[in-house]
A and B are shown apart, each in its own frame.
Chain A
Amino acid sequence: ETGVTQTPRHLVMGMTNKKSLKCEQHLGHNAMYWYKQSAKKPLELMFVYSLEERVENNSVPSRFSPECPNSSHLFLHLHTLQPEDSALYLCASSQDLGLAQNIQYFGAGTRLSVL
């Protein structure tokens, strides 16, 4: 166990559905991240939160909406997705931003299929 838990592990949704991905970290970290991992592509950073404030949005379409109610929880709200959004969505956390040794700890991911 990495201390980062993601639910659900698998999700199938239609293009008109609304769903949410949940991430919870038990490490006492202050920074949390959402990544997208698809076949044959490097990990793509989507969002970064530090102390519940969004500090980075990597030109992610508005159909992805993150929410960080506290430093232990991170959500990714999904709405009107496209089939090309099918991927593994990974959550990670790290102690803080701006540290020279900023190790990120990842959850197991949510495998999303958009039909």
Chain B
Amino acid sequence: GESVGLHLPTLSVQEGDNSIINCAYSNSASDYFIWYKQESGKGPQFIIDIRSNMDKRQGQRVTVLLNKTVKHLSLQIAATQPGDSAVYFCAETYSGNTPLVFGKGTRLSVIA
């Protein structure tokens, strides 16, 4: 079946550096993508989303890039802080009519 997967299960970065978390998706019909952050002891929190008619979207210190040609999604975090330490999930759906399909998650560890 179709699935969403992550390239790197763990990522360690120095505080202040930029982080890049990657996600590959296999359903070419998916047209909406979300990044979630899950801190220890909490549920997933919405970070940023992007629709397939865009290839880039920026938020506060975060940028999501979408490459539909290779079915790849990335989350860039600028000036990574200790509070960014968490597990990050990408999720995809098709026109909101299908349930969100979540990737396995990448654990980001920020080294002070």
Contact = CB atoms under 8 A, between A and B. Distances in A.
A104 B36 CA distance: 10
Q: Tell me if A's interface is mostly helix, strand, loop or mixed.
A: loop
A106 B93 contact: no
Interface in A20-64: 33, 40-43, 45, 48, 56
Given A90-B43, A100-B32, A105-B46, A45 B104 contact: no
Interface in B17-61: 31-32, 34, 36, 41-46, 49, 51
A103 interface: yes
Interface of A: 2, 4, 6, 33, 40-43, 45, 48, 56, 90, 92, 97-109
Interface in B74-112: 89, 93, 95-97, 99-100, 102-105
- The contact size tier of chain B is 20 to 34
23 contacts: A2-B43, A6-B43, A40-B104, A41-B104, A42-B4, A42-B103, A92-B43, A97-B96, A97-B97, A98-B95, A100-B95, A101-B96, A102-B96, A103-B49, A104-B34, A105-B46, A106-B36, A106-B43, A106-B45, A107-B43, A108-B42, A108-B43, A109-B42
